[in-house]
Structure 1
Amino acid sequence: MYAYVIRRLVEAALILLGVSFITFILLYLVPADPARQIAGRSATAQTVENIREQLGLNLPFYEQYWRYLVNLLQGDFGRSYLQKSEVGELIAARLPASLLLMVAAICTELVMGVMIGVIAAIKRDTPLDKGLMVFSFVGVSAPQFVVGILLLYVFAVQLQWFPIGGYGTFAHIVLPALTLGVLGTGWYSRMMRSSLIDVMTQDYIRTARAKGMPRMRVIFRHALPNAFLPIIAMIGIDIGFFMSGIVVVESVFGWPGIGQLAWQAIQRVDIPIIMGVTLVSACAIVLGNLVADLVAPFVDPRIKLK
């Protein structure tokens, strides 16, 4: 176990290094000039050049990247070009809101997806099963931006059950979590249905049924724990989808998380913030997959970590 964790952490460090390198290259090639944006349109060429020199933007690519890596290893994400604040402090202030939204969305999609998948598997090939699978297909296909706008219009504007945007109460988190959870609900329900149907054909399930054990007890005590294994693996992968989709959802609902921070930074070409949010997101994805791999053996002891 310890050797496996150490190996995965080393792999994670290499992945994060690769992410930082690729992101830095892409931002380096962006035609927009951060120095010009900081100086303003009316600034002279000399002023812009002075700012570029102060920020180190006049240095060769490899030198800029090396300086960034050295600072990063010391826990320094850099300083925002426009907000004049440390990037680490900006992310730390926004991260709790994003984590809260992520946890709420995962709980939403797990409850809805597993419930729909189990019902569809139990009622296999019935009109209810087909209807639930159509709902799942729509959930997987619907863009999060469209889902968010529809939920806002129906539940916030028309019915006035929830606030249009903001942060701070349970009511504020319902619609953003549901928007993020709709996509996951579609995937989880389809995965849960397929996995449960497959498990129900196993010999030990047939043996339990042959001994006269009630069908519901067989499903929930024996079949469901084993059918849940693919769901555990998907949770780790899901963190990556949340980190990409959370930018849109936070912008729609005015949620003060790192997604909104990243969107503002992209509009202003604030490179240190973009790099910081990208690395934090990549770190969350890597750790999410690692945790999912570590949890799986506790659910099914037959799984061995190598």
Structure 2
Amino acid sequence: MLTFFLKRLLGLLPTLAIVAVLVFLFVHMLPGDPARLAAGQDADQQTVELVRAELGLDRSLPEQFGRYFLNMARGDVGVSIRTRRPVATEIGERFMPTLLLTLTSMAWAVAFGLVIGIVSAVYRNEWPDRLGMTLAVSGISFPAFALGMLLMQIFSVGLGWLPTVGAGSWKHYILPSLTLGAAVAAVMARFTRASFVEVLGEDFVRTARAKGLKERVVIAKHCLRNALIPVVTMMGLQFGFLLGGSIVVEAVFNWPGVGRLLVDSVNQRDYPVIQALVLMFSLEFILINLVVDLLYGLINPTIRYK
């Protein structure tokens, strides 16, 4: 397993290099002049040119890329065009609220999705199954921004129970986490049900029942571990999507996270911040997939890494 882990870590470097090239080309294709935005709309052309030279945007694309790549290799991801602060500082201040929101959303979504999926599989084609799958389809079909606005209208405007914006207390996490985790819970429920239905039809499950074991023992001891392997894969992917895809929810609730930072950076054509955030999201997905692969061996000891 250690050899497998080290090989996957070394495989990060070429992947990140390719992503860095693509992101650099993409952000320089965005319409708009970052120097004009940084200098202000009322600045004259001479001031704009001075700002462009200060930011290094007057150089050719190959020169800019070479400078960007060398700085990134030294661990320097640049300075924000918008705030003139180090990009690492900008992201560091916004990362923790996004991470906590993602963990909160993932925790309730996984628990809720697993329970609904298992119950639906055990009571297949009965009313618990129909009710659970109806909730799952509703969760997938309802857009996140619409759900967030509906929750705010009910629990904030109508009842006055919960705050709508900010991240100052645990109450601020309730509505955004429900909005962000609804689709994940729905996907987890459907995926868990499909996995459990498949495992329930296996020979070893029939053998366990023939031995006279109680149904809860068969489900918990014999089915759960075997059904969790594809579910864990889905959990890892969904966690990556939540961590990097909370932009809409953060915009609705004015959440001070990296999703909102990315939106502001795109609007202001803040190239260094955009590049750093996209690279960070790519690295997150790669590391999450690596963790999922390692979890396979813990869930099912028969899996070996060669």
Cα distance in 2, alignment partners of residues 292 and 209 from structure 1: 31
Verify: 1:140 aligned to 2:112, yes or no: no
Q: CA deviation at 1:244?
A: 4.0
Alignment of 1:154-303 (within 5 A): 154-303=154-303
Q: Give the whole-Å Cα distance in 2 for the aligned partners of 1:224 and 1:117.
A: 11
Matched, 1:65 2:61: no
Alpha-carbon displacement from aligned partner over 1:205-257 (angstroms, at most 9, x marks no partner): 11110011111111012111211111211122113321343111111112211
User: 1:20 and 2:20 equivalent?
Assistant: yes
CA separation in 1, counterparts of 2:201 and 2:181?
30
Q: 1:45 is matched by which residue type in structure 2?
A: Q
Q: For 2:66, give the aligned amino acid.
A: W
Q: State the SS of the aligned residue for 1:29.
A: coil
Q: Unaligned regions of 5+ residues in structure 2, if any?
A: none
Q: TM-score, length-normalised on structure 1?
A: 0.96
SS in 2 for 1:36: helix
Distance 1:31 1:181 in 2: 34
Q: Which secondary structure state, in structure 2, belongs to the residue aligned with residue 228 of structure 1?
A: helix
Aligned position for 1:84: 84
2:131 corresponds to which residue?
131
Give distance in 2, aligned partners of 1:12 and 1:75. Answer: 15
Quick one: distance in 2 between partners of 1:65 and 1:146? 40
Q: Distance in 1 between matches of 2:244 and 2:94?
A: 16
| 1:9 counterpart residue number | 9
Q: Work out the CA distance in 1 between the residues paired with 2:239 and 2:116.
A: 21
Instruction: Output the CA distance in 1 between the equivalents of 2:80 and 2:266.
Output: 12
Q: Percent identity?
A: 37
Aligned mates of 2:16, 2:211 — CA distance in 1: 52
Hey, what's the Cα distance between the residues in 2 that align with 1:28 and 1:191?
A: 39
- Separation in 2 of the partners of 1:152 and 1:38? 35
**How far off is 1:131 after superposition?**
2.4
CA distance in 1, matches of 2:135, 2:166: 29
Amino acid at match of 2:260: Q
Distance 1:305 1:177 in 2: 36
Q: Which amino acid aligns with 1:270?
A: D
Query: How far apart in 1 are the matches of 2:14 and 2:249?
Result: 30
Structure 1 alignment gaps of length 5 or more = none
Amino acid at match of 1:34: P
Q: Distance in 1 between matches of 2:282 and 2:222?
A: 36
Deviates more, 1:57-66 or 1:238-247: 238-247
TM-score of the aligned structures, taking structure 2 as reference length = 0.96
CA distance in 2, matches of 1:62, 1:298: 46
What SS class does the counterpart of residue 184 from structure 2 fall into? Answer: helix
Rounded to whole Å, the distance in 2 between the matches of 1:31 and 1:162 is 39
SS of aligned partner of 2:201: coil
Number of matched pairs: 306
Would the aligned equivalents of 2:208 and 2:218 in 1 still touch at CA under 8 Å? yes
Assess if the C-alpha contact under 8 Å between 1:179 and 1:249 holds in 2: yes
Instruction: State whether structure 2 residue 94 is matched by structure 1 residue 94.
Output: yes
Give the match for residue 117 of structure 1. 117
> Which AA in structure 2 matches 1:35?
A
Shift of 1:11: 2.1
CA root-mean-square deviation: 1.3
- The one-letter code sitting in structure 1 at the alignment partner of 2:291 is V
Distance in 1 (alpha carbons) for counterparts of 2:256 and 2:36: 28
Alpha-carbon distance in 2 for matches of 1:97, 1:28: 29
Runs of 4+ in 1 over 3 A off after TM superposition: none
